[in-house]
Structure 1
Amino acid sequence: MLKNYSKVALRNMLRQKGYTVLNLIGLAIGISVCMIIILFVNSELNFDNFHKKGDRIYRVVLDRRYPGRSTSYAIIPYSIGDAMKKEFPEIEQSVRLFQGQQDQGLFLRVDDKVFNEKNVLFADSNFFDVFTVPLLLGNASKALTLPNSLVVNESTAKKYFGSAANALGKTITVDDSAAVVTAVSKDLPPNSHFTFDVIASLSSFGNGVQKPDYVSFSCYNYLLLNANADAKALERKFPLIIEKYVSGDIEKNFGVSFKEFQSAGNGYHYYLQPLTKIHLTSNLEAELSPNGSINIVYAFSVIAFFILLLACINFINLSTARSLDRAKEVGIRKTFGSEQSALIRQFLFESVITSVLSLVIAIILIFVILPFFNGLFNLHLSALYFFQPLQFTFLILSVIFIGVLAGLYPAFVLSSFKPIIVLKGKFSFNPKGRLVRNGLVIFQFAISVMLIISTLTVDRQMQYMLSDQLGFRKDNIVELQRTDLLGKQSQSFINDLRKIPGIENVSGTSALPGDQNFFGASFQLLGSKETLTGRGILSDDQLLSTLDIPVVKGRFFSRDLATDSLSILLNEKALAELGIADPIGARLISPDGFFNLPDGTTQVLTVIGIVKDFNFQSLHQKITPLIFMNGAKFKNVLPLTAVRIQSSQIRNVLGTIEKDWNSYVPGHPFQYKFLDQQLASLYHSEQTMEKLFKIFSMLAIFIAFIGLLGLVTYAAQKRAREIGIRRVLGASVSNIITLLSKDFLKLVIIAVLVAFPVAWLGMDKWLQDFAYRVNVSWWIFIISAFIAVAMALLTVGFQAVKAAITNPVTSLRTE
């Protein structure tokens, strides 16, 4: 029987090649898109799952409350984890990670070669006891315990020494300090929320953070809990750490009692994040790397379902459209004794065969498309995931289920034809069937319109985030890195840069918008106990000119005024929180002594100006207080130089700058990046979402096009005699086009009306994640409706013209 079913199925597929191709293409695209999204979702959901103790590892994070606002930080003070381990027996291990200035990297010298490594972590000696990072060479328990020890991954070992075996015991110079490679690790899997090329001993290379401190943020802290520990119960004990350890540092640093500190609206609240939840649910200040979004996972899971559903709907519509051609076949089969159940099995078998063939095509498409997809989105997805026994079995069963589900309605429609009526050519379809088909078309176009609206809204938000409406000019700014290596030659280097034709301005600074180099800063008005807490930046007198940021009151630093070394400027947000009417001349001190002289003498800083607010962080975050400090006294350690270059001269100027750099610091690689690219990197997940929405919107439109084509073909076949009679009676081609188009246009308009409110609610919800956002604009809905209507008109019009120009004799010869 299966042999007979197969012969009939193959014969029908070959006889109606056009429908077969449309069916196969529609289902194959739907299945392949679904498979790619499954790979993406599986990768996102399994971040950090490779750690054997991952279910017991938690990151300690901080919700820091300030007067009128709060900020959550991924980094916490250096000593908090030690205090927690001391106080709470539920904690088995506490390990710290320190990232340093990742944007600039570290210079590592191997023999006569110098490498600028930006993916360097500093870790406690028990790092390998907590995290599962297999070592190829070396002893995990001792790898980071020795002074000046380094662990490199396999890729880095090959880059430096040719092979992993050659790396062990070799000396690497880290910013003028000698270090020894004590172990070589395997490369971390790509689905890890932190990665490294080099891990250095925190006790040896911690850049001064290794001091008892319960207030200043510096490290990422992870806890390994005992097997029977309750994380939520442990969290409830954390206020003890605030009372016993943090409060004393607050009183010492800020000069107020902890009770006064809290009554002013300040507070510390520590909580735990499960390691495996960090990637998708954490978007805190100072994350180790940009994380994903659980909302994106949900969104694309829904999209995968709907695109596959659209493909199944196409199958139903196209199979129904084919029913006219197979009606007589059904009548003859029934006349010769075929039962309805046998016909249903036959049609379901054909449907399953079509879905299995579509799966084969989809798998071929996956292997062709996936490398391009991985490159476009910087992913590491592998189609081999589906060839594991469990996944492959699930895939086959799912495709069979899709075939059965998509074939049920056409099978029952075809098998229900009455043979006498069919053979006389006078049969008609159940009106309920028409309602089902119309409903499916409405659903298809509603999904397509929603995706178009979503794509245009995401694109508009991305354009806004990357626009020039950030409060400064970001174009043609090149950020030179590690200029602190110039030492006392830094000013001479800057002066030489200013002489280069094509350079408009140059400035030395400790940070630029979009990076994580803005340091935490706290200040008090002299004689007051109220503390202003925000971010700080060191710069020379040219930073605002270089970035084109206006001073709204007072002035910026001047190199001609020696007293400006103790001057500061505030942004408008800082002034608002400080709450003084006349800020110029206000005198501030650093309550934690961060800017005091080495002998402890308090330095009094004077406000000389107010800078207009600008977005120096991601637009996910509101503008926070920012304090500008004069870098003149720190000019030998400013790590960055911002250079504004004429757009037509960028290539030539960069070549000249590199020559100057090599003459000042030979042997150190010339490192730079563009400011606009740095800002764009803040929105990696949104850019991924935008690209995917565009791709899936086009696919949804294409699938809807195929479905509409099938339904229009069905309508044209059903009304072929009517069209023939109208043509004989003098109807024009345009009359026929109008006849066939008006009903479908009504369906598309209904779909548009259904899609509008759903899309508006979804996009408004998504935009709420941004502190600064666009509105969901009315013109986006108009454009989306126009695209849908235009697509419908083109599809229907093409088939209508084809039906209208058909010789009427062809359709009337049986009358």
Structure 2
Amino acid sequence: MLRNIFKVALRNLLKRRSYTLINVAGLATGMAACLLIALFVRSELSYDRQHEKGENIYRISLDRIYPGRTTAYAIIPQSIGAAAKAEMPEVEESVRLFNFAGDAGNFMLRIGDKIFEEKRVFGADSNFFRVFSAQMLKGDGATALMKPNSVVINETTAKKYFGSAEAAFNKTFQVDGNNNNNNVFQITAVCADWPENSHFLFDMLISTSGFAFTRQLNYVNFSAYTYLLLKPGASAENVEAKFPAIITKYVAPDIEKRFGQSVADFYKAGNGYKYHLQPLQKIHLISDAEAEMRPNGSIRAVYIFSIIAIFILVLAAINFINLSTARSMERAKEIGLRKTFGSGRKELILQFLLESIFISVFSVLVSFGLIALLLPLFNQLSGNTLSILYFLAPARLLLIMAFAIVTGAAAGLYPAFVLSAFKPILIVRGGVRSRGFGILLRNSLVVFQFAISVILIVSTIMVNRQLDFMLGKKIGFRKEHVIMVERTDLLNQQSKAFKTELAGIAGVESVSGTSAVPGQRNFFGVSYQKAASNEKVTGRGIFTDDSYERVLGLELKEGRFFSKDFSTDTLAVVLNEKAVEELQLDKPIGARLSSPDGVLNAPDGSPYIYTVIGVVKDFHFQSLHQKITPLFINHSGRFGEQAGLTAVRISSDRFDNAIASIANTWKKFVNDRPFHYSFLDQTLARQYHSEQTTQKIFTIFSALAIFIACMGLLGLAAYTTQQRTREISIRKVLGASASNIVVMLSKDFLKLVLIAVLIAVPVAWWGMFKWLQNFEYRTTLGWWVFILAAAAATLVALVTISAQAIRAAVANPVESLRSE
């Protein structure tokens, strides 16, 4: 019997090819989209799961409270972890990491007579591998970092320099620019590479025991990434609640020592420290702090894409169920005849269920083919290395097939149980019509589909508008045709000569030494106060020279910028408008300021007095995710005439030739170091990489959702047109025009779309309003967005319906009436 049922099911599916194709296309597309998003979400949720003690590892983060704002930091004062371990019995281990590659990401090592660069190099405490897990290929992780100048490298680094882990073990190298007394470092262990889904990755770990600065007590200045391993059963909330006591006992005396003011005055001015514990396995999705080791993901993106995946899957399932129930009436006579010739109800139920399940399961197989085709593109868009093999695990494959069977069964339930219960004589006489409940259900599902479509259209428009707003907003300086030459600190005393020679290259308009790249988080934290006041203003600082204003095209509000004509400018400072506002300077030009921060003081620690010579208009030196903060621009002449980077503005018509000449000039001054540079506009654009990725993925999957909704509408329109063939023919015989027929067939569907729009608009407005609150600078939520989304949904629906309506309107009425 089953064989016969299967043959009949297959014959019916092939007979109704268009219906089968619509169902398979919609369901397969929906499943493929949902599974692709599931791969992405699973990848985002899998970070830092490789550590045995991962559930008990926490990173200490800091909310540094400044007057009027709060900034989160992933890096904290280096002595806080040791204080926590000493004061909290719940803490089993405290381990620190120091970024030895610096902001430029270049760590220079010498092996033999060759010099190499590494970017992921950290100083690590000796107990690092008692907290974090790693597979040791050579050496013992427990002791590998105990001695000064000991180094642990990963397998990739070992192969790159020595050929294998075995060959690298116990080898030595030198570090250029190392301020340690002994410049020879020994590889004491080689470990397997950490998986990419880690919130930080390393190529080298160097023992901190040989560096005196790591042993200095520091409870105020940020210098180390600090992790705590809590004892089993310890409460992270209880540990976090004890940090105020740590601040009182350890931080407060250091504030008074370093800042020269009482803690009471420090707090009264609006300053403060608030420490948090971040679970290791959640850092990638919950943290967006300053000085993150790698760009993190976004828990909001995970939620958004998960919702889209559910919407798409629901849309596809609704289409399938809707079309199955709608077209079941078409098969009423077939059921009546089969019951007349002896088919039992159980056999008919099995027949309908098997047909639906067959389509559903076949759609899953097609979806795997679609995933295999689309996965490379999806990986390129999302920046991941996802694999379809994840779904081929027996348990996951069984779950997917179970969903397909349940969806198929749901689609087949109505025709299976309702139609099989009708009496044969009633069916054969044509007494079976769609019931009111069935029509209401189908209409409700169409409304639901298009409401989701309108919401997705609005969301897609707003995501694109916000990204365009951030990329196109005036940021207060000229970012085009500027390159940043890196590692110019290697020039030492030749910095002036290098800049002079660059300025003479054809096409180079201006050259400036600077300590930070706009758009990156390497503007250092600094505090200033009026000379006769203890009330400090904390903001961002930068070292630069007298050409910085010309390279970036900054706009002066008053005063002047640094100049070679004034030797006193090495003790001058230029402020932005926000700094003037927070310092409450009515007449900023000539104001005298001092800084309690050691980096801006004299070698003996006494404070310099800085004179304000100019005020630049506020510009976005950080991303638009952050508000403009006070900026203090200091002259680099006081600090060695160089600041690590050289900004070069080049005329657009000589760009490539000028870069080649700059590279040759670099080789002339530094012949044993590679030439590295970046384009400023590209650096700024990378700030919004996460939004760009979200935009592309969101747009693609929203389009897929709308496509699935249209496939369902196309099927229902075809069914409705077929059901009303006799009525259409009679109307045409009585004089109705083709346009009358199209309007008649379209208006009922368009009413449903209009209802969907009315439901979707307030939901979409609320969702987008909430989403935009995540941005400090955001676009407007204009009324035209909703009109455009409603018009787009209506147009898509009209085109979809009209294709069937026009076909019916131009058909010969004689043919259809003859068949009646």
Q: What range describes the TM-score normalised by the shorter chain of this pair?
A: over 0.9
What does 1:667-682 align with in structure 2 at a 5 Å threshold? Answer: 667-682=672-687
Q: In the TM superposition, what whole-angstrom CA distance separates every residue of 1:736-782 from its partner, at most 9, and x where no partner exists? A: 11111111111112212211111111111111111111122222222
Q: Does 1:130 align with 2:136?
A: no
Partner of 1:42: 42
The alpha carbon displacement at 1:81 in A equals 0.8
Match of 2:59 in 1: 59
The answer to whether structure 1 residue 501 and structure 2 residue 506 are counterparts is yes
Residue 321 of structure 1: how far off its partner (Å): 4.3
Deviations 1:638-675 (A, max 9, x none): 11111222334332222221111112111211111122
CA drift of 1:696 comes to 0.6
Does the residue aligned with 2:223 lie in a helix, a strand or coil? strand
SS of aligned partner of 2:237: helix
1:779-815 deviations in Å (ceiling 9; x for gaps): 2222222221221121111111111222212211243
What is the aligned partner in structure 1 of residue 770 from structure 2? Answer: 765
Q: Counterpart of 1:528? A: 533
- Establish whether residue 79 from structure 1 lines up as the match of residue 84 from structure 2: no
Q: Do the aligned partners of 2:321 and 2:412 also contact (CA within 8 Å) in 1? A: yes
8 Å contact 2:24–2:360 — kept in the other structure? Answer: yes
* Residue of structure 1 in register with 2:151 after alignment: 150
Residue aligning to 2:364: 359
Name the CA distance, whole Å, in 2 between partners of 1:213 and 1:623. 28
Given the superposition, is the C-alpha separation of residues 490 and 78 from structure 1 closer, same or farther in structure 2, using an over 3 Å criterion? same
Equivalent of 1:199, from 187, 195, 205? Answer: 205
Question: Are the equivalent residues in 1 in contact too, given 2:710–2:800 (CA < 8 A)?
Answer: yes
Q: In the alignment, what sits opposite 2:516?
A: 511
Amino acid at match of 2:26: G
1:17 aligns with 2:17: yes
Gaps of 5+ in 1: none
**Residue identity opposite 2:25 in structure 1:** I
Residue 77 of structure 1: how far off its partner (Å): 0.5
The runs of at least 4 aligned residues of structure 1 exceeding 6 Å deviation read: none
Q: 1:413 to 1:504 in 2, by over 3 A?
A: farther
> In the alignment, does 2:487 pair up with 1:486?
no
Encode CA deviations 1:275-325: one digit per residue, 9 max, x unaligned: 112111111222222211112111111111110111111112322343354
Closer, same or farther in 2 for the Cα pair 1:406/1:619, shift >3 Å? farther
Q: Does the alignment pair 1:477 with 2:495? A: no
Q: Distance in 1 between matches of 2:654 and 2:166?
A: 46
How much does 1:217 deviate? 1.0
* Matching residue within 750, 754, 760 for 1:749: 754
* Alignment deviations for residues 500-519 of structure 1 (CA, whole Å, 9 cap, x no partner): 22222221100021212111
Aligned to 1:184: 190
Q: Deviations over 1:546-567 (max 9, x none)?
A: 1122121211111221100000
Contact 2:329/2:433 (<8 A) preserved: no
| Corresponding letter in the other structure for 1:270 | Y
Match of 2:141 in 1: 140
With 336-345 and 563-572 compared, the bigger mean Cα shift is at 336-345
* Percentage of pairs with the same residue: 56
**Superposition pairs for residues 301-320 of structure 1, below 5 Å?**
301-320=306-325
Counterparts of 1:747 and 1:239 in 2: how far apart (Å)?
A: 59
Match of 2:119? Answer: 118
SS of residue paired to 1:706 = helix
Change in 2 beyond 3 A, CA 1:762/1:286: same
Residue type of the partner of 1:216? N
Instruction: Give the TM-score normalised by the residue count of structure 2.
Output: 0.96
TM-score by length of 1: 0.96
Q: What is the CA-CA distance between 1:680 and the residue it aligns to?
A: 2.4
Closer/same/farther in 2, CA of residues 720 and 635 from structure 1, 3 Å limit = farther
* Paired amino acid for 1:357: F
Deviation, structure 1 residue 210: 5.0
After superposing the two structures, state which structure 1 stretch, 6-15 or 139-148, moved more: 139-148
Displacement, 1:144? 2.2
- 1:320, 1:714 within 8 Å by CA — same for their partners in 2? no
Query: How much has 1:577 moved relative to structure 2?
Result: 1.3
- What is the CA–CA distance in structure 2 between the aligned matches of 1:305 and 1:720, rounded to whole Å? 37
Instruction: Give, as a single letter, the amino acid of the residue that structure 2 aligns with 1:188.
Output: W
1:171 maps to which residue? 172
> CA 1:460–1:103 in 2, change beyond 3 Å: closer, same or farther?
farther
C-alpha contact (below 8 Å) 1:252/1:592 kept by paired residues: no
Maintained 8 Å contact 1:254/1:529 = no
Pick one of 598, 614, 623 that aligns with 1:618. Answer: 623
Cα distance in 1 for residues equivalent to 2:75 and 2:626 = 17
Please say if 1:725 is aligned against 2:725: no
Provide the rounded CA distance (Å) in 1 between the counterparts of 2:301 and 2:362: 31
Question: What's 1:2 paired with?
Answer: 2
For 2:222 and 2:311, the matched residues in 1 are separated by 45
CA distance in 2, matches of 1:108, 1:405: 65
Structure 1 match to 2:181: none
CA contact (8 A) 2:136 2:192 kept: yes
Task: Provide closer, same or farther for how the CA distance between residues 418 and 669 of structure 1 changes in structure 2, counting only shifts above 3 A.
Answer: farther
Mark the CA change 1:616 to 1:204 in structure 2 (over 3 Å): closer, same or farther.
Answer: farther
Does the 8 Å contact 2:526/2:597 carry over to 1? Answer: no
What CA distance in whole angstroms lies between the structure 2 residues aligned with 1:418 and 1:475?
A: 78
Q: Can you list the C-alpha shifts for 1:323-377, whole angstroms capped at 9, x where unaligned?
A: 3542221111222343444423321221111111111111122222212211221
Deviation at 1:426, TM superposition (A): 5.0
Verify the 8 A CA contact 1:150 1:181 in the aligned structure 2. Answer: yes
Shift of 1:102: 3.6
Structure 1 pair 495–427 and aligned structure 2 pair: CA distance change class (3 A): same
The one of 694, 697, 701 aligned to 2:702: 697
Partners of 1:725 and 1:423 lie apart in 2 by 23
**Cα drift, residue 450 of structure 1:** 1.0
1:267 and 2:272 aligned: yes
SS across alignment from 2:288: coil
Match for 1:99: what amino acid? N
* Cα distance in 2 for residues equivalent to 1:233 and 1:78: 22
Compute the displacement of 1:28 (Å). 0.9
For residues 292 and 122 of structure 2, the distance between their equivalents in structure 1, rounded to whole angstroms, comes to 13
Report which stretch shifted further, 169-178 or 504-513: 169-178
Deviation at 1:412, TM superposition (A): 4.1
1:581 aligns with 2:586: yes
Moved more, 285-294 or 115-124: 115-124
Read off the aligned partner of 1:800 and give its amino acid letter: A
Alpha-carbon distance in 1 for matches of 2:426, 2:114: 88
RMSD: 1.9
Aligned to 1:69: 69
Q: CA deviation at 1:414?
A: 4.1
Letter in 2 for 1:141: A
Structure-1 separation of matches of 2:723 and 2:93: 74
Match of 1:460 among 434, 457, 465: 465
How many residues were matched structurally?
814
Is the alpha carbon distance of 1:116 and 1:780 closer, same or farther for their aligned partners in structure 2, counting shifts above 3 Å? farther
Q: Distance in 2 between matches of 1:388 and 1:615?
A: 49
Shift of 1:681: 2.2
Q: CA deviation at 1:180?
A: 2.7
Greater shift, 161-170 or 350-359, is seen at 161-170
| Counterpart position of 1:440 | 445
How many angstroms does 1:468 deviate by?
4.2
- Taking a change above 3 Å as real, the CA distance of residues 204 and 619 of structure 1, as seen in their structure-2 partners, is farther
* Mapping 1:186-585, distance limit 5 Å: 186-204=192-210, 208=213, 210-412=215-417, 414-425=419-430, 427-585=432-590
The amino acid that maps onto 2:285 is L
Q: Which deviates more from structure 2 when the two are superposed, residues 761-770 or residues 168-177?
A: 168-177
